[in-house]
């Protein structure tokens, strides 16, 4: 029986993940990807990484067949870890352990960190795979909520569990923020980042989400919304196209399950609003984000209209219309059509329309409209 798939019409501004992929094919891929669970998407990414590592081993065996096993292992470690390869590091294990992926490494670290009572969440590449597009990832990024004085004890536990742990003294003293560890038998590395003491960082820990892997082991991931905000921030600092592709991948795969208002709030805090607007356009989710804005703004609109009526600041240009005119926006209540519409005075442009139940009939705010209505909401709360 043929599989019935919806027809895909790329929205204006839609951008495929790769230049050689059509918009229709990209939309289909992400439609299918949305049918997968987080665990399944992680497993897909893990398989890609294992396959890439196996291919690398095969190529190295052909090229460096003359090397003794320890020399071959060292050569492989230098290639995979590059500048992060310790000077005196010779991998243990064997080919079977060398093809381990970052997802399995996350599971191994979960057990250690949970035993030590250290809250954590996985971020960056592994989280982007979990929530978005399947791809390989070179290492694992984990954020820890840990007092610096407890780092030496954690370093000892990690060493006993088969990790190479340099730089613990510098991290404890605050000279470094990241504890870079390597699992000796697997040539797998992780950056253990000490969390900042900021309100946003605390919120990210509160919003972290636990997902079981296919073997039942759970790992904590940063929320998809926080991954988007952070990747926009990192991408702005590094000008990395990989970060931008990850952002689009998460938006496309998570689609209408995301809290776009939350992302817009924190994007504004970090001066990322324009980037987030562009990302929602290229990911084809602008309409979803706009409708969420309208839903969140509806109580503010109703409150503003009610205040205008109570103060006698509404007019009736026709029997069915009540109009409240502000300095920048006009609110129009149509009793016949049972709608409430928000219109920008300059240009006479409707940016939101609601029915009597508050359901959004249309929404198309500009970034300036978002900012203005945030200010209106703040004034009405005073």
Model confidence over 178-192: pLDDT tens digits?
A: 999 999 999 999 999
**Cα separation, 277 vs 8, whole angstroms:** 22
**What count of other Cβ atoms lies within 10 Å of the Cβ of residue 257?**
11
Q: Based on C-alpha coordinates, what's the Rg of the chain? A: 26
Angle, CA 140 vertex, CA 134 and CA 146 arms, to 5° = 135
In sequence order, what are the beta bridge partners of 71? none
- Give me the pLDDT at residue 121, please: 97
Chain-wide mean pLDDT for the chain?
Answer: 92
- Residue 68, phi then psi, degrees to nearest 5: -70, 155
| Residues of the chain predicted below pLDDT 70 | 1-3
Q: At what angle do helices 102-115 and 124-131 cross, to 10 degrees?
A: 110
Q: What is the pLDDT of residue 3?
A: 64
Please tell me the number of Cα atoms within 13 Å of 328 on its side-chain side.
Answer: 9
- What is the structure's pLDDT at 132? 95
Helix 260-269 and helix 273-282: axis angle, to 10°? 140
Taking the C-alpha atoms of residue 66 and residue 19, their distance in angstroms, rounded to an integer, is 41
What pLDDT, on the 0 to 100 scale, is given for residue 2?
56
Sorted by sequence, the CB contacts under 8 Å of residue 258 that are 6+ apart come out as 224, 225, 228, 251, 285, 288
- What pLDDT shows up at residue 32? 93
| Max Cα distance, the chain (Å) | 92
* 191 bridge partner residues: 141, 180
Pairing of strands 188-194, 140-144: parallel
- Judge if pTM exceeds 0.75: yes
Query: What would the two tokens of residue 78 be?
Result: 């230098």
The CA distance from 346 to 330, in Å, is: 10
Report the C-alpha gap between 221 and 227 in whole angstroms.
9
| Other CB atoms within 10 Å distance of the CB of residue 371 | 13
């Amino acid at each position: 029986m043929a599989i019935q798939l919806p027809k895909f019409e790329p929205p204006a501004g839609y951008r495929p993940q790769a230049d050689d992929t059509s918009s229709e094919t990209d939309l289909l891929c992400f439609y299918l990807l949305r049918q997968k669970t987080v665990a399944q998407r992680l497993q897909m990414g893990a398989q890609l990484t294992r396959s890439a590592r196996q291919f690398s081993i095969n190529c190295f065996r052909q090229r460096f067949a003359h090397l003794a096993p320890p020399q071959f292992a060292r050569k492989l470690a230098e290639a995979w870890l590059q500048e992060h390869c310790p000077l005196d590091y010779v991998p243990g294990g064997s080919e079977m352990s060398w093809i381990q992926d970052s997802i399995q490494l996350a599971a191994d670290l979960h057990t250690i960190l949970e035993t030590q009572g250290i809250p954590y969440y996985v971020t960056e590449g592994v989280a982007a795979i979990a929530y978005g597009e399947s791809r390989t990832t070179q290492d694992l990024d984990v954020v820890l909520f840990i007092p610096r004085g407890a780092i030496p004890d954690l370093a000892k536990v990690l060493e006993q569990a088969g990790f190479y742990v340099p730089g613990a003294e510098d991290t404890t003293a605050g000279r470094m923020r990241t504890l870079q560890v390597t699992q000796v038998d697997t040539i797998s590395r992780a950056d253990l980042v000490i969390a900042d003491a900021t309100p946003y960082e605390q919120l990210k820990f509160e919003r972290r989400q636990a997902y079981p892997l296919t073997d039942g082991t759970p790992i904590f991931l940063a929320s998809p919304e926080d991954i988007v905000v952070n990747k926009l921030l990192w991408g702005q600092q590094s000008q990395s196209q990989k970060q931008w592709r990850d952002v689009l991948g998460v938006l496309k795969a998570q689609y209408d399950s995301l809290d776009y208002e939350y992302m817009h709030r924190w994007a504004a805090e970090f001066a990322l609003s324009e980037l987030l607007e562009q990302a929602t356009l290229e990911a084809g989710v602008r309409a979803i984000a706009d409708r969420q804005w309208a839903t969140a703004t509806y109580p503010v609109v109703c409150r503003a209209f009610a205040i205008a009526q109570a103060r006698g600041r509404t007019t009736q240009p026709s029997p069915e219309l009540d109009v409240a005119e502000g300095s920048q926006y006009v609110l129009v209540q149509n009793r016949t059509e049972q709608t409430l519409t928000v219109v920008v005075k300059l240009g006479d442009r409707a940016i939101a329309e609601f029915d009597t139940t508050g359901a959004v009939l249309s929404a198309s705010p500009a970034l300036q409209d978002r900012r203005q209505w945030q200010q209106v909401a703040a004034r009405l709360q005073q």
